[in-house]
Structure 1
């Protein structure tokens, strides 16, 4: 390799957050294509353009790297929190994002993770530092600011209920939620509860 090629390689080397994001995206892609049982650290390293040594410095095994890929999307990145101008559409948007995230990672990995890690509570796996309700806090605060929802309606349970119902559907049936299911969760269960307060 020439000196200029070495220089080019150094210039394009990713570090820190950029490298981690590339690795976790590679994990999601590997899960989609190969499933959890066929996911390997070699495959993730190759897809992300890094080495196995780099992976093993951050994650001890396949289960840890898959959990990191799940946790990266929970809660939603701030720029992806829906803002359609009304509570109904915002909550539907949150559930659609959750649906997509679960299709990409959780549904292909859940049973393999349980096998590798053991019967730990799901909350301990996804929220090792405690549950973060940032997405629904933002959505409900906007609804309060618009006058759609009284401030006293924003209780801890109202912050967790949509995701809890969606997670139940996804794990129970091991398939993505339909638009009808999302609408039923929001229209028949969530909105009547939060708006009647």
Structure 2
């Protein structure tokens, strides 16, 4: 390789957040196409256009790398938090986004991760700094401002209930939730508990 080619490579090399995003996207693609058992640090590095050494500087092993891809979407990025003008549609939107994110990553990785994690609770891997509940906090704050929900109804359990029920469905059946399931979680369980009566 010539000196000018090396200089061009250095100039075009991704760093920081851009590189990390490319790596985590490569993880999702590998999981979708090959599954957890066939995902390797080599295959992710090749797909991301980087080296295995770069991966090992950030993640100690395959499980940590896959968990990084999961954590990137938990909580939902702020720009993706729905604002449909009512709590029902907002919570359905969050569960649809969770459904999509889990199709890409969790469903293809869950059982392999559980085997590698041993007896560590799943929550400590997905939420290493504790649950933040930012997305549901935003939705419920808006619902309180609109008068749909009383401030007293915004309890820690009401902040986690929709995602806990959705996560249970995804992990129990290892398949995406149907629209009917999402509607049932929201209409039959969540809204009757949280809306003003």
**Pairwise same-fold verdict (TM > 0.5):** yes
State the Cα deviation string for residues 94-139 of structure 1 (Å, max 9, x = none): 0000001110001110100111121321111101111110010011
- The RMSD of aligned alpha carbons is 1.1
Trace 1:97-116 onto structure 2 (pairs within 5 A). 97-116=97-116
1:74 aligns with 2:68: no
Q: How many angstroms apart in 2 are the aligned matches of 1:87 and 1:113?
A: 33
In structure 1, C-alpha distance between the alignment counterparts of 2:148 and 2:8, rounded to whole Å = 54
SS of 1:23's equivalent in the other structure is helix
Residue 2 of structure 1: CA displacement?
3.3
Structure 1 ranges of 4+ moved more than 2 A: 1-8
SS in 2 for 1:175: coil
Q: Which residue of 2 aligns with 1:151?
A: 151
Q: Distance in 2 between matches of 1:196 and 1:141?
A: 14
Q: How many residues align?
A: 197
Stretches of structure 1 lacking an aligned partner (at least 5 in a row): none
- The residue that corresponds to 2:128 in the other structure is 128
Partner-residue secondary structure (3-state), 1:99: helix
In 2, the alpha carbon distance for the partners of 1:83 and 1:9 equals 42
Q: SS of the counterpart of 1:95?
A: helix
Aligned-partner SS, 1:36: coil
SS in structure 2 of the partner of residue 185 of structure 1: helix
SS, match of residue 192 in structure 1: helix
Aligned to 1:52: 52
Deviation (angstroms), 1:196: 3.9
TM-score of the superposition, structure 1-length normalised?
A: 0.97
Of 59-68 and 147-156, more deviation after overlay is shown by 147-156
TM-score, normalised via structure 2 length? 0.97
